[in-house]
Amino acid sequence: MLLIRDVLDKQMVDKEQNRIGKADGIVLYLSDGNAPEVAFIEMGSLTLSRRLGRRPHRWMLWIRRAAGAEGAAEIFRVPWAKVRDVGVDIEVDVDRRVTPLGRCQEWLEQHVINRIPGGQS
């Protein structure tokens, strides 16, 4: 498996094949004398903006704080042990409601969709 080709930027799905976001970043674990190990897959806008550059990253932090997001500077990480399969998609054993996408969807539903007439149906 090649990390950049086969993991980074791939579609992530949960056990029910719901799309839960992309593999936005990879975290390696380095220790003396051992080969580097894949520790986590990172997901979310913070990781994405950091890949774009320092300034976009700061903007994203600012936006998240301004929106009053809980744990605004917290990066969502999926431990590699939770990865069940890497194929066309990466299947992971994660509750989709706790992913950045899941939380964002919930926030949007409560704060935006429910205020638009007909949004509930």
Residue numbers of the site for another protein (CB under 8 A)? 5, 8-12, 18-22, 24, 48, 51-52, 88, 101, 104-105, 108-109, 112-113, 116, 118-121
Minimal CA–CA distance to 79: which of 118, 27, 33, 34? 27
- 110: helix, coil or strand? helix
The residue (of 22 and 64) whose beta carbon lies closer to another protein is 22
How many CA atoms does the CB half-sphere of 91 hold within 13 Å? 8
C-beta of residue 99 within 8 angstroms of C-beta of residue 21: yes
CB of 65 to another protein, least distance (A): 20
The residue (of 17 and 34) whose beta carbon lies closer to another protein is 17
Which ranges of 31-71 would DSSP assign to H, the alpha helix?
45-52, 54-66
- 102: helix, coil or strand? helix
CB of 117 to another protein, least distance (A): 10
The residue (of 32 and 70) whose beta carbon lies closer to another protein is 70
The residue (of 34 and 114) whose beta carbon lies closer to another protein is 114
